Structure 1
């Protein structure tokens, strides 16, 4: 009987080892939402390429290629993450309870938005006008996901996660910023939609903005206090210094784009005066938010130099160097297009160059890490007692 028991244990062990020991199974089980930050960073690069106030040969083709690559990456990551949830459901709770990994759930809707914008920009020319219906549906799916994660992650923070003041970082912003990223996209899609659908989308965009920005600024206040009391986070969190630019840049961009789109959509209606106010308020408030971002931009640059002196090792969090500075550059170019004030164009170009440099650096390290296979690592599964 004892020999049979030992034999059955050895058989079970071999089966488990085969299931978990294969590289593909481990890749799925260890896949984290952090990867969607890669689609955010790549997506903002092609959008900034299109926003540049200068023209150069091949710009449109490069942007189109990056959009196609970004779309393929997002679809691949979505399949991997869905496979993890289906094949390893026991890993869901550790993910939701992890005080850092859970925050990256917000990168899923934020990673989808550049792809949706690309559908509106490139789709009609490639696939015909019917593709705009797909973009429209995907936007609403994204809005639902953004609000869902903006509620789910704080709920887990309040009920099951373990946090302390010295562990607070700007990563807390990730699930909260997602709705305002979706809001800024509303103005991109609205001109391509039927009038009533565009009006509803823009109105919803303002609601999404209101859900996100005040909460994000409350977290910025907490992050400032945490830095003053407990000093800098570990160097592994160096890129989180740039995440503070995310809600500021996207908040400014959202007000600017929504404000410019609103008057034409509501012309001739009882809301026409409100729409005109939204345009003027969008410029004024967008400029103020952009000004707030100057301080956080300078601090992020200074702190990064400090981290570099202390020694920084690559991790997927380095994608945090890309999207925040990208959306801040997008807001800068939006201010230039509205005001035609040349300094905005100059500052925007400098930010764009910094973005392209960061992106090239991070994508090189990421490809190298993927080839070595050492980036598929889920910290939430490394804790004692975890699945």
Structure 2
């Protein structure tokens, strides 16, 4: 006999009260899965499966958006306490990044560049807000120590470069004047994210050296370091590829070859740095003994960072013509599918019981009634 749904809580309404933005990491990982499946060679039904995964992601993003909006509407005073917490507000950056995967899917599966542009504009605004508001809250409203630092710090920062890469993907499908503005905006968004992320990575490595591995419940956060490097590489590659057509016949035409060549070189450098972090992250997770790691929503950190790294690998294979990148992309995609499947199954189980719905900044139910 199956236990009743949400048995972890006394009332199903607790799902709304305990809902946090880390659920949007599900849409990040699932959206990347759709894009990767579409790029994989295989049977004729694979593109249709990729499109179905993208549609599922739209449903998930819509559901999570409604739940989080209800969280703020029904419990505004307690919900506002998120900005005092030292970890949960970082996941606000997952909202625009989840939306970015849907925006890219509108272009890839829906073939509607004008709708994608409207969604991209919303995504860009949310990304900039995430990259400004959350770090400001970290400075003025939270307490942090080097010992407690993890890769989660990167989440609100990376959203801008994800939006930049999405803009570069969209630019070739729009009129030239719009495309030129998108490419310039993409470089601006890239600059709002990557330099700061590289600084955070430097400090994060110092923290690892001085204080060893993060606690077991945050072990997967080591993979998040791969996100800004994979996305940073992807952004430079896509922006450099879009620049020649976008800048042709304009005052910026002289930058086209620089952007294209610099995109490949810069993308390769960031990709190689990402490969180093990936190897280190795998080693650190193995050192934790994966079978003893407690499952939580942080496990979705296995998906999106690796996914954008694979997307950058695929683009490097296309732009350089080197078969090694093509093979690496295919192998990593198969590993990604296995990781996504494992995390998705355990998330479904935890969601059914309700154990994954927990907002650490919310007062106990009895106190909330006072």
Q: Tell me if both proteins adopt one fold, taking TM over 0.5 as the criterion.
A: yes
Give a deviation string over 1:163-203, Cα, whole Å, max 9, x none: 11111000000000000000000122112222222211111
Aligned length in residues:
360
1:112-140 deviation line (CA, Å, top 9, x unaligned): 0010011111223xxxxxx4322211101
> Unpaired segments of 5 or more residues in structure 1?
1-19, 125-130
Alpha-carbon distance in 1 for matches of 2:61, 2:166: 17
Aligned to 1:122: 109
Specify the alignment match of 2:26 in structure 1: 38
Aligned with 1:260 (options 218, 241, 249): 241
Whether 1:105 and 2:82 are equivalent positions in the alignment is no
Q: Give the conservation status (yes or no) of the 8 Å contact 1:380–1:386.
A: no
- 1:91 is aligned to 78
Contact kept, 8 Å, 1:209 with 1:254, in 2: the verdict is: yes
Contact 2:78 2:363 in 1 (8 A): no
Correspondence list, 1:192-231, <5 A: 192-231=173-212
CA distance in 2, matches of 1:50, 1:38: 19
- Whether contact under 8 Å (1:259, 1:275) holds in the other structure is yes
Matched, 1:26 2:14: yes
TM-score normalised per structure 2: 0.94
Work out which of the residue numbers 276, 279, 283 in structure 1 matches 2:257: 276
Q: Give the CA RMSD over aligned residues.
A: 1.7
Q: Distance in 2 between matches of 1:383 and 1:280?
A: 56
- Structure 1 stretches of 4+ with a deviation exceeding 6 A read 383-386
Structure 1's 27 and 274: CA in aligned 2 closer, same or farther, altered over 3 A? Answer: same
Does the 8 Å CA contact 1:33/1:81 hold for their aligned counterparts?
yes
Question: 2:277 aligned with 1:288, yes or no?
Answer: no
Task: Give the corresponding residue for 2:50.
Answer: 63
* 2:155 paired residue among 174, 194, 197: 174
8 Å Cα contact 1:94-1:386 kept in structure 2: no
Shift of 1:385: 12
Q: 1:309 to 1:196 in 2, by over 3 A?
A: closer
Give the TM-score, by structure 1 length: 0.90
Structure 1 residues 58, 225: CA separation in 2 closer, same or farther (over 3 Å shift)? same
Segments of 5+ residues of structure 2 without an aligned counterpart are 1-8
Q: Shift in Å at residue 94 of structure 1?
A: 1.5
Q: Secondary structure at the match of 1:381?
A: coil
- Cα pair distance change 1:282/1:72, threshold 3 Å: same
